[in-house]
Amino acid sequence: MTLQESETSYRELFLGNPQPMWVCHRETGRMLEVNEAALRLYGYRRNEFLELCLRHLLAQGERLNGAAGSADDLTCTGSHLKRDGSAAELETTWHSCDFQGNPAYLVLISVESAAGRKLERDAELERRVAERNGQLEAAQRELETFSYSISHDLQAPLRHINGFSQALLDDYAQTLDQQAQEYLTRISQAASKMSQLIEAIQQLSRVTRSELSPQQVSLSVAAQVIALELKRAAPQRQVEFVLAEGVSVEADPRLARQLLEILIGNAWKFSSKEEEARIEFGVLKSDAETLYFVRDNGVGFDMAYAEKLFSIFHRLHRADEFEGTGVGLAIAHRIVSRHGGRIWAESAPGRGATFYFTL
């Protein structure tokens, strides 16, 4: 082949090829050659393009992992910068070669392939989102049906059990021995307990299904009102409340109030055996986030069980020690999660507990 024929073949295969391509130095990233299609794609003149390095062209610092020195092609998809500063999502195939005595990469650009893959990814993402939304809507309908069944179909039999048990105790107390009366009393108590658990599940369901109406809420005022209500319900108890003032947050008012009712109510309950009980509500601020906390000096708990603390019906103390349904902290966790926050606790047996949360 003559020199002229070689030059003609080179121009047809590289410079005149309709597929954009360029050559760069394998070690320095300096541009060594570019064809007309690539110049049109990037918007550069030839002399401008040949003054570039890879770092000027690859918007997101695209790198080749282990391809240097390899004869195998490597295909990548990344964002490339054009001359006008705009970015384009391009698919590139990198092939190690020698160019004019230099170790180099021959880079072929597939514009349609990259755009097509992006469209496919977007379509697949939309399909998955639509599928997940459909699943969530179906789960929501099932939850609503379940809640309706609980509130109507289960509560009625429990009311009958409780009512007829109490009627037997009232009408036939003279003919029933002490053991029979005790049995009926336990039946009535169990029905009442079951009714309380069902109501707790309904509360958890309502927290999940209700729409949020965020607005500025004074947590300090809510804490003060809750403290007054607790004192009024049990005036014989000596409890010191230390409540931070001026604490406000953007949240759903009803759920924020319910969250504090649960946490302060738990502090009230689990400090009931202390002669000098102390309950504190406060806030800790940093550059990263704002932490709210409720602290008590009550019985506390073993941190080995902290992971199960917010599970439904999980109790760390026996029912005969402290009453409750075991659902309150699960509701608190759900409220905090719906506000995009997190909740956790720190405690030790006999040394009280502190519940932290963010909103």
The reported pLDDT for the residue numbered 66 is 38
Residue-wise pLDDT tens for the chain (359 aa)?
Answer: 555 555 566 666 788 888 899 999 999 999 999 999 999 999 999 999 999 998 888 875 555 443 444 446 788 888 889 999 888 888 889 999 888 889 999 999 887 655 556 666 777 788 788 888 778 777 767 766 766 666 667 777 888 888 888 888 888 888 888 888 888 888 888 888 787 777 777 777 777 777 888 999 999 999 999 999 999 999 999 999 999 999 999 999 999 999 999 999 999 999 988 988 999 999 998 878 899 999 999 988 888 877 788 877 666 666 656 676 678 888 899 999 999 999 999 988 888 999 999 98
- In the numeric block, the tokens 């506390």 are attached to 300
Which of 226, 234, 233, 302 has its CA nearest to residue 262? 226
The reported pLDDT for the residue numbered 118 is 62
Cα–Cα distance for residue pair 271/278, rounded to 1 Å: 8
CA distances from 103 to 29, 33, 66, 72, 349 (A): 10, 13, 15, 15, 69
Which of 283, 286, 293 has its CA nearest to residue 332? 293
Q: Are 34 and 46 in contact (CB under 8 A)?
A: yes
State the amino acid at position 85 in one-letter form: G
- Cα dihedral across residues 173, 179, 182, 186: positive or negative: negative
The reported pLDDT for the residue numbered 204 is 73
The reported pLDDT for the residue numbered 169 is 86
In three state form, how does the secondary structure of the chain look? Answer: CCHHHHHHHHHHHHHCCCCCEEEEECCCCEEEEECHHHHHHHCCCHHHHCCCEHHHHECCCCCCCCCCCCCCCEEEEEEEECCCCCEEEEEEEEEEEEECCEEEEEEEEEHHHHHHHHHHHHHHHHHHHHHHHHHHHHHHHHHHHHHHHHHHHHHHHHHHHHHHHHHHHHHCCCCCCHHHHHHHHHHHHHHHHHHHHHHHHHHHHHHHHCCCCCEEEEHHHHHHHHHHHHHHHCCCCCEEEEECCCCEEEECHHHHHHHHHHHHHHHHHHCCCCCCEEEEEEEEECCCCEEEEEEECCCCCCHHHHHHCCCCCCCCCCCCCCCCCCCHHHHHHHHHHHCCCCEEEEECCCCCEEEEECC
The reported pLDDT for the residue numbered 38 is 92
Residue 159 token pair: 């009311």
The reported pLDDT for the residue numbered 210 is 74
Cα–Cα distance for residue pair 314/296, rounded to 1 Å: 20
